[in-house]
């Protein structure tokens, strides 16, 4: 019955795999019902795709974290400059987005 199903079932199986967390045995049963004899091949393809998605997600997170660190570094540089010019801590905090405590620490170092 499912063996004669159209190739469109591949995308449905793929969706189920990515959306729901099936154990390996259940996943193999689903694949076997749709594509008998291709469990190993499809499991390998799913594993590769999941691995790719994890890598892409980690890369995005790393890039986002790097951007946040860069923004913070820029705010610290700006705050140091403003501290050296004698600007009030509350004004520096508002302009840089840094806390007044952070700016006071920068003032102590400067």
Count Cβ atoms within 10 A of the Cβ of residue 46 and give its class: 0-12 exposed, 13-18 middle, 19 or more buried. middle
- Which candidate, 55, 56, 45, places its Cα nearest to that of 18? 45
Question: How far apart, in whole angstroms, are the C-alpha atoms of residue 24 and residue 35?
Answer: 16
Percent pLDDT > 70 in the chain is 74
Tell me: pLDDT of 43 over 70: no
84 pLDDT more than 50: yes
Q: Is the confidence at residue 98, as pLDDT, over 50? A: yes
For position 110, what pLDDT does the model report? 63
State the pTM of this model. Answer: 0.53
């Amino acid at each position: 019955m499912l063996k004669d199903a159209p190739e469109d079932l591949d995308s449905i199986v793929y969706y189920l795999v990515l959306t729901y967390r099936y154990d390996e045995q259940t996943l193999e049963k689903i694949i076997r019902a749709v594509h008998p004899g291709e469990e190993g091949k499809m499991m390998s393809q799913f594993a590769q795709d999941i691995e790719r998605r994890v890598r892409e997600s980690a890369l995005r997170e790393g890039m986002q974290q790097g951007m946040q660190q860069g923004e913070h570094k820029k705010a610290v540089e700006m705050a140091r400059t403003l501290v050296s010019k004698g600007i009030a801590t509350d004004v520096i905090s508002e302009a840089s987005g840094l806390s007044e405590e952070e700016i006071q620490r920068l003032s102590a170092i400067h």
